[in-house]
Amino acid sequence: MNPSESSNGHHPSSAAAANAVRSVDATTESGVQPVAEIDGGFGAEQGAGRGIETEVDERKGAVLATAVSRGPAGQILLGISLMLIAFNLRPLFSSLSVLLPDLIDRTSLSAASAGYLTTLPVLCLGIFAPLAPRLSQRIGPERSLLLALLFLVAGTALRGMGDMYALFLGSALAGAAIATGNVLLPSVVKRDFPHRAALMTGVYTMALCGGAAAAAAFTLPFAHFFGNSWEAGLAVWAVPAAIVLLVWAPQALRATVIPRHSRRTVSGLTRDPLAWQVTFFMGLQSALAYCVLGWMAPILRSRGLDGIDAGFMLSMSVMVQVATCLLMPPLAVRFRDQRLTNALLALVASLSLIMLLFAPVSTLWFWALLQGIGQGGLFAMAMTVIVLRASDSHVAAHLSGMAQGVGYVLAAVGPLLVGVLHSLSGGYEASAWLFGTLGLAAAFNGWGAGRAELVKARSAAIDA
């Protein structure tokens, strides 16, 4: 079967693209064609109220799960848990953004060093993302996410120690944890919600945006409450992560790691042009996103807004992303492809960010609103095309690892260059060229990633 074709042999149309979200129908090397495959990349778990039906490949002895059933309560608990995990994967960035001018004023941190600080966790996203599928193969996705939450709590708390070394170390540690969550959430959605993957993609990306918005709005008030302590403003976000850690731990510890003989490997991704377009689309939109999360509040403060107003404007912009994250994936899969959607969202996001630099102050709320619409939809589509372009959950995990591994290394350049350009020019206006270039490049690759095809990657069982 040609990987670029649907299971019925036809070139994917809008219906086939939707089916790529709703089900897994890729033929494996063994000749078994499961309806919904749970493979070694994510673990096969037995839990309360959950059963797994399997097909066994007699030649190789590989166990291929074809259906996963949960009771309604189990599905609801899993969905809520994934949302709570996603909520905690973004406060690291926006909490620093609203406090960045205060850090520069009250510590030895320079504008260039601030650029490095905003870049460090994004760089860690790229470095550690490719390791997430391997970790998941060894201990399962549930335990991998549990470990990520543990490191996220530790890294976030470490940032509040008041020391510059602890600030950088905590940012790196939390960035590594976020990388794991970023990669594994799409694959778990593909695995456990095969018929609602588009909706669940929108839900967890909505939660991601909600976490960023909450941190943007409340970090500065928290800091003021604790005696204008920037340390407390950063460290307080370890509390919700710790709560989610306690909620997730029982589910993770009940999970059973799949036997080694039933694990699978994926080959051919790095030779596929479509996989690279998905990767560059993810990276370039992420560069824009982390420019927003890292520098939008300082940009707004440079336009004359005070810290509270800048934080609330950033929060409003990110909250708008919540709505577009929820609405965009289910709408996009109804079209024949997502090329035009991806390109338009990239242009809207970048143009609005540029206008925040030059538009009259009285119109900044409008441009922040429009930027949120574009950026939220752009991020949701970047996550959605990972699912749409993958033939099964295992390919989705490896494509997610590639897109986020290479993509986030590329994304780290964005916030770094904003800091460098600010140091060289003394202002943020020079960043307009950067925002425009990132938007055009994201539109180009989004057009390619939106084609109604599947990546040409092969998923095969590993012999015992």
Per-residue pLDDT tens over the stretch 76-134: 888 888 899 999 998 998 888 888 888 888 887 777 788 888 888 888 888 887 788 78
Tell the burial category of 69 from Cβ atoms under 10 Å away from its Cβ (0-12, 13-18, 19+): exposed
pLDDT for position 85: 93
The two three-digit tokens of residue 375, written as one number: 């950026």
- Of 419, 408, 314, nearest in space to 367 by CA: 314
pLDDT at 263: 60
Mean pLDDT confidence for 294-316: 89
DSSP structural state of residue 52: E
Which of 25-39, 145-159, 275-289, 302-316 shows the lowest mean pLDDT across its residues? 25-39
Per-residue confidence (pLDDT) for residue 264, from 0 to 100: 63
Amino acid identity of residue 13, one-letter, is S
pLDDT classification of 325: cutoffs 50, 70, 90? confident
Q: pLDDT band at residue 350, thresholds of 50, 70 and 90?
A: very high
Q: Average of pLDDT values for 350-372?
A: 95
The whole-number average pLDDT for the span 33-41 is 30
Buried b (16+ CB within 10 A) or exposed e, 423-456: eeeeebebbbebbeebbebbbbbbbbbbbbbbbb
Q: What is the pTM of this model?
A: 0.69
The residue among 359 and 10 whose pLDDT is bigger is 359
- Judge whether residue 285 has pLDDT over 70: yes
Residues 6+ apart with CB under 8 A from 381: 328, 329, 332, 338, 341, 342, 345, 446, 450
pLDDT at residue 462 in the model: 61
Residue 220 has pLDDT above 80, yes or no: yes
Tens-digit pLDDT profile for residues 385-423:
888 888 777 787 788 778 877 888 888 889 889 988 988
Proportion of the chain above pLDDT 90, given as a percent: 30
Over the chain, what is the mean pLDDT?
78
For every residue of 344-413, DSSP letters joined together read HHHHHHHHHHHHHHHS-GGGHHHHHHHHHHHHHHHHHHHHHHHHHT-SSHHHHHHHHHHHHHHHHHHHTH
Q: What is the pLDDT of residues 428-438, one digit of tens each?
A: 999 999 999 99
What mean pLDDT comes out for the span 308-334?
A: 84
**End-to-end alpha-carbon separation of the chain, Å?**
25
Q: For residue 283, name the pLDDT band (cuts at 50, 70, 90).
A: very high
pLDDT at 358: 95
Q: Tell me if the domain spanning 72-256+267-454 has CATH number 3.40.50.2000.
A: no
Per-residue pLDDT at 39 exceeds 50? no
* Domain ranges for the chain: 14-70, 72-256+267-454
Residues 154, 159, 165, CA angle at the centre, nearest 5°?
Answer: 110
Q: Residue 68: phi, psi to the nearest 5?
A: -125, 125
Give the model's pLDDT for residue 389.
Answer: 86
pLDDT tens readout for residues 228-263: 888 999 999 999 999 999 999 998 888 666 554 456
Residue 340 pLDDT exceeds 60 = yes
